C-alpha cells in the first residue's frame, strides 16, 4: 500500500511537471492587437484573455527561474533568454526576478540586476549597456485609470521606460512610467523617479531631484 501511495504521488508530480512544461512552450503572439494597443499608450481594457495568458506564462517562467539554483547558471541563462525579449551576452540577474510579459524588455551588454528586480513591462523597457541596478528596484510602465469604476473594469495604459548606457541605480528605487534616464546618470537609494533624468547627473529623493551634475567633475 505504501508503494502504491508513493507511485501515485510521483505520477501526480509528473503530471504537474508535464503541464508546466507545456505551458512554458506555448508561444505568445506579441504582434496581437492587444499588445500593440498597450505599447501605443492607448487607454484600453487590460483584462483580456490574450493578456491574461501572457501574464500567466511569464509568471510561470519567473517561478521556474527563481526556483533554479544559482549554481545552475546555464539553465538560468536559458530561462532568462526565454523570458526576456532581448539581452546581451554578458549579464547577471539575481533571484528573485519578476516581470509581467518579459518580451517587452530589451537589455544591452554587461547588465547586473540585483535581488528582487521587478519590471512591469506592459510597454517597452529599454536598458542600455553597462547598467547596474541595485536590490528591490521596480520599473513600471503601467498606468491605471484614476476613475475607480474604470480602474475596476481594467482600464489602463502603458508608457515606455528608457535607461541609457552606464547608468547606476541604487537600492530600493522606483522608476515610474514614461521616464528616460540619461547616459551615465546615478539614481540614489530609495528614490522615486517621476520624470526624466539628465545624462551624467546624480538624483535622489521622493520625488527624485537633482543633487549634482557629474559633467562638472
Active site residues: 144
User: Cβ distance 54 to 34 under 8 Å?
Assistant: no
User: Cβ distance 80 to 103 under 8 Å?
Assistant: no
Half-sphere exposure of 132 (CA within 13 A, CB side): 11
User: Cβ distance 66 to 97 under 8 Å?
Assistant: yes
β-strands 155-158, 142-144 pairing = antiparallel
- Is 22 buried (19+), middle (13-18) or exposed (0-12) by CB count in 10 A? exposed
Residue that is written with C-alpha cell 499608450 in the block: 41
Length of the chain: 217
Dihedral angle, C-alpha 66, 67, 72, 74, nearest 10 °: -50
Amino acid at each position: 500500500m505504501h508503494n502504491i501511495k508513493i507511485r501515485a504521488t510521483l505520477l501526480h508530480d509528473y503530471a504537474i511537471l508535464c503541464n508546466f512544461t507545456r505551458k512554458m512552450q506555448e508561444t505568445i503572439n506579441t504582434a496581437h492587437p492587444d499588445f500593440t494597443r498597450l505599447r501605443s499608450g492607448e487607454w484600453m481594457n487590460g483584462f483580456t484573455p490574450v493578456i491574461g495568458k501572457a501574464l500567466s506564462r511569464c509568471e510561470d517562467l519567473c517561478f521556474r527561474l527563481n526556483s533554479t539554483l544559482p549554481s545552475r547558471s546555464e539553465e538560468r541563462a536559458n530561462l532568462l533568454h526565454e523570458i526576456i525579449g532581448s539581452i546581451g551576452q554578458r549579464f547577471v540577474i539575481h533571484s528573485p526576478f519578476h516581470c509581467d510579459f518579459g518580451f517587452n524588455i530589451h537589455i544591452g551588454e554587461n547588465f547586473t540586476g540585483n535581488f528582487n528586480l521587478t519590471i512591469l513591462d506592459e510597454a517597452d523597457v529599454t536598458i542600455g549597456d553597462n547598467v547596474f541596478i541595485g536590490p528591490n528596484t521596480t520599473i513600471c510602465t503601467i498606468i491605471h485609470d484614476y476613475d475607480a469604476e474604470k480602474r475596476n473594469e481594467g482600464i489602463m495604459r502603458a508608457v515606455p521606460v528608457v535607461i541609457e548606457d552606464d547608468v547606476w541605480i541604487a537600492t530600493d528605487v522606483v522608476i515610474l512610467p514614461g521616464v528616460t534616464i540619461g547616459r551615465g546618470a546615478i539614481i540614489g537609494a530609495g528614490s522615486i523617479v517621476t520624470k526624466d533624468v539628465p545624462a551624467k547627473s546624480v538624483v535622489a529623493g521622493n520625488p527624485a531631484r537633482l543633487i549634482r551634475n557629474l559633467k562638472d567633475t
